[in-house]
Amino acid sequence: MNRRLITCFVIPLLSLTSLCQAQKLTADIPYVENGHERHVLDIYTPETPSDKPLPVMFWIHGGGWVVGDKSDVALKPKVLTERGFVFVSTNYRLLPEVEMDVLTRDIAKSLGWVHKNIKQYGGDPNRIFVGGHSAGAQLAALICIDDRYLKEEGVSFDALQGCVPVDGDTYDIPKIIMTAEFRQTLYGGKMFTFGHRQKFGNDPEKHVDFSAVTHVAKDKGIPPFLILYFPGNPATRAQAGRLAEVLKEAEIPVTTYGKRDSNHSRLNNDLGKPDDPATAEFFKFLDQLTKP
């Protein structure tokens, strides 16, 4: 389905033409032949086609791996298509219908489809950024660090230009499980019945294997990282620092930015707003990696 999206802002004394920016949306594209109803993605492209292939932002929604939808993109398609990107937002199957390894492979299949087909939409298959919020941040980081998933789809890390995980708390899963359960034990309250321990397979070996930090190593082709987080949340702050520490040890370029006066949802939804400091870091990161 093709749709033309127009975003308008009301600012006094400016003409309507100068206020409205349009993107073209091609919605609900299957990335698995005869697949599940959630095996679909949306592609947003600039209204005016470019003479050259454009960099691609591949976005993974959050929702605790149990809810969420590819439509949860806020301003990102608008601001990125205006900056000369193709924006892709993907769905994937959710827990508990499938287990975490299947869910993660859905992301890899989606990105594999994008790598093979994005030229048709004006995108450059060898300049793909991967980003995501919350649960999507864990998936983005893992896909960009543990190369097994993309290799299964015939995609090399050479195609990845950068990774932008936003306020994830599961880059080191054993640490977040121990922290959360210790807090419950210390302060009381019912222990989780479907928390991180259960979501990631209720198996210590799986907890390690699904942790992005486990797979960081030099000379794998891991792309540069921008890790955005809300410092008011001790879990996401600590996890951002943990991932950054491991990446730095492996000499992989990494920038972290904590946005104060925000929260878990607003940090993501405000990306693209004028005068938003996290947006400034986001654009700086993208510009550094896309400018000739």
Q: Return the bridge partners of 132, or none.
A: 60, 165
- Give the pLDDT score at 4: 61
Range of lowest pLDDT (6-10, 170-174, 261-265):
6-10
Q: Residues 18-36: what's their mean pLDDT?
A: 85
**Relative orientation angle of helices 100-117 and 135-145, to the nearest 10 degrees:** 70
Q: Is residue 12 over pLDDT 80?
A: no
- Give the pLDDT score at 21: 56
Confidence grade of residue 291 (pLDDT, cut at 50, 70, 90): confident
Q: For 177-219, write each residue's pLDDT tens digit.
A: 999 888 888 888 777 889 999 999 999 999 999 999 999 999 9
- Is pLDDT larger for residue 20 or for residue 25? 25
SS3 78: helix
70, 26, 85, 149: CA torsion to nearest 10: 50
Q: Which structure tokens are listed for 11?
A: 């600012």
Q: What is the largest CA-CA distance in the chain?
A: 61
Number of other CB atoms surrounding residue 162 within 10 Å: 22
- Give the pLDDT score at 3: 62
What percent of the chain shows pLDDT beyond 90? Answer: 86
Q: Residues 79-95: what's their mean pLDDT?
A: 98
**Taken in order 259, 262, 268, 273, is the CA torsion positive or negative?**
negative
Instruction: Tell me how far the alpha carbon of residue 49 is from its chain's centroid.
Output: 25
SS3 142: helix
- Is pLDDT larger for residue 190 or for residue 77? 77
Q: Residues 222-239: what's their mean pLDDT?
A: 98
What percent of the chain shows pLDDT beyond 70? Answer: 92
Q: Residues 257-263: what's their mean pLDDT?
A: 97
User: What rounded mean pLDDT belongs to the chain?
Assistant: 93
- Give the pLDDT score at 191: 77
Q: Is residue 17 over pLDDT 50?
A: no
Calculate ∠ Cα 23-66-208, nearest 5°: 110
φ/ψ of residue 166, rounded to 5? -115, 110
Q: Is residue 99 over pLDDT 80?
A: yes
Amino acid, res. 280: A
d(CA 255, CA 241): 10
228, 231, 235, 241: CA torsion to nearest 10: 60
Q: Residues 63-89: what's their mean pLDDT?
A: 98
